[in-house]
Amino acid sequence: MAAEEDSIRPFEVDVSDEAVADLRERLANARWPDDPPVDGWGYGTDPTYLKTLCEYWREEFDWAAFERRLNRFDQFTTNVDGQRIHFYHVRSPEPDAVPLLLSHGWPGSVAEFLDVLGPLSDPAAHGGDVGDAFHVVAPSLPGYGFSGPTDEPGYDARRIADAFDDLMDRLGYDRYVAQGGDWGALITAILGATRPDRVAAIHANLLFVAPSQFDDPTGMLDEDGMADYRATKAAREGETGYQAIQSTKPQTLAYGLTDSPVGLAAWIVEKFRTWSDCDGDVESSFERDRLLDNLSVYWLTGTINSSIRLYYETEFAKAVPESVDVPTGHARYPVEVSRTPRAWADAVYDIDHWVDMPEGGHFAAMEVPDLFVDDLREFFADHREVDGADAEDDRAA
C-alpha cells in the first residue's frame, strides 16, 4: 500500500461539462452589491471591470483551450507526507541540465509558470543557449489547485519545504537549485537554510527577513534601505487587510469565496492589479484568459479555503530562517509589494546576485516571463555544478 501511495502517476486537466455549467449558472445568477460612491478601484475591486470579466468567463472563456494550455507539459501526482502533490516535471532534452524547483505563492498557482517552463527546460528551442537548460519541477503547493485541499492542521511553510525536498528526492535529484516568489520565496529560503547539502543555490523575487533578530533594525540601514523600509511599511499598512483575515479567520471568509465565483474573482483579481506593474490596467500586464486560467484552477478544485489557510498555519516568526548560507540571487521587481533592505538581506542570506529589474511585479514569471527567465539563467550560470542528469529515466515522471 505504501508503495502505491508513493507512486508517481500521470495527470491531465479534464474539465467536466457539469463543472462548466455550474459555474456559468452561478455567474448568471450572481447577486451583485451596490456600487461604491465613486467609480474605480478605490473601495476595492471595480464593479464595472468585474462584471466585464465575469461575463467573459461565463460566455466566451474557451475551456478546451484552458485544458490545452495546462496540459501542454507533463504533469503528475504523488503522495508525500500523506498529502497529494500535483506537479509539472519538464525534463530537458539537454543531458547537462540542472534540476530546478519552482515554487509559487498566493493568490497565484502553478499556472503562473506556463510561459517559462519551455524556455527554462529547452532554451535552444526558445533562442537560448543549451548550457542554460534546466529539468524543471513546478509543484502546486499543498492545499492549492490540483494538489487538492489539505485536511489536517499544521501544514505550514516548513512542512511544504520538507515535502518538496522529498519530492525532488523521489524524482532522483540528489542536488538541485530552487526559485520562488511569495510563499514560494519563503519555502525556497527554508530549503536553502535546512538543506544546504542538497540545494546548491536559491533565487527569490522577495527575501523574507525577521527584523526582530537584529539589535537595531533601522539603525543598520542606509538611505536606500530606509526608503525600502518605508515603502514596505506603507504597503503593509494599506494593503494587508486580506492577510489579517486569512491569518485569523480563514474559514469565515472561505464560505463566500467557495460559493461565489464573482466573490472569488473579486478577491483574487484585485491583488493581480495592485501587485503588478500595470499602472491601474490589470489586462495590460496579464491577458484576460491568463487571469481566468488562474481563477479557474482555484474554482474547479475548490481550494480557495485550504490555500488561504496556509496564512493561519504558518507562524512567520518561526518560519523565517535566521540564516541562509547557500548562494542567493534576488531580483527586485519595481512593483513587488515587499522590498527587503540590502543590509538586512546581507545579514541573513549569502547574496551574490542582486538585480533591480526594469519592470514587473509580484507575479513575475507570468507578467514578464522573458525577464524572469533571463535573470534565472544569469544567476544560476555560476551555480550549475549540480549532477542534474541522474534522475532515472525509467521513473514515471
Catalytic residues: 182, 311, 362
Q: What is the CA radius of gyration of the chain?
A: 20
Nearest Cα to 110, choosing from 64, 61, 69? 69
Q: Torsion angle of alpha carbons 294, 98, 192, 145, nearest 10°? A: 20
Can you list the pairs that 62-71 forms with residues at least 24 positions away whose Cβ atoms lie under 8 Å?
62/289, 63/15, 63/20, 65/289, 66/13, 66/15, 66/289, 66/292, 66/293, 66/296, 67/12, 67/13, 67/14, 67/15, 69/111, 69/114, 69/293, 70/13, 70/111, 70/114, 70/293, 70/297, 71/12, 71/13
Give yes or no for a contact between 328 and 201, defined as CB atoms under 8 angstroms apart: yes
CA distance 126 to 220: 44
336: DSSP letter? -
Q: Which element (helix H / strand E) includes 194?
A: helix 183-194
Give yes or no for a contact between 161 and 167, defined as CB atoms under 8 angstroms apart: no
Ranges of beta strands (E only) in 28-127 are: 75-80, 83-90, 98-103
Conformation bin of residue 105: beta by default, left when phi > 0, alpha when psi is -120 to 50: beta
Task: Report the DSSP beta bridge partners of residue 177.
Answer: 100
Give yes or no for a contact between 81 and 162, defined as CB atoms under 8 angstroms apart: yes
Q: Which element (helix H / strand E) includes 350?
A: strand 349-356
CA distance 58 to 51: 10
Give yes or no for a contact between 111 and 191, defined as CB atoms under 8 angstroms apart: no
Q: Name the residue with cell 542534474.
A: 388
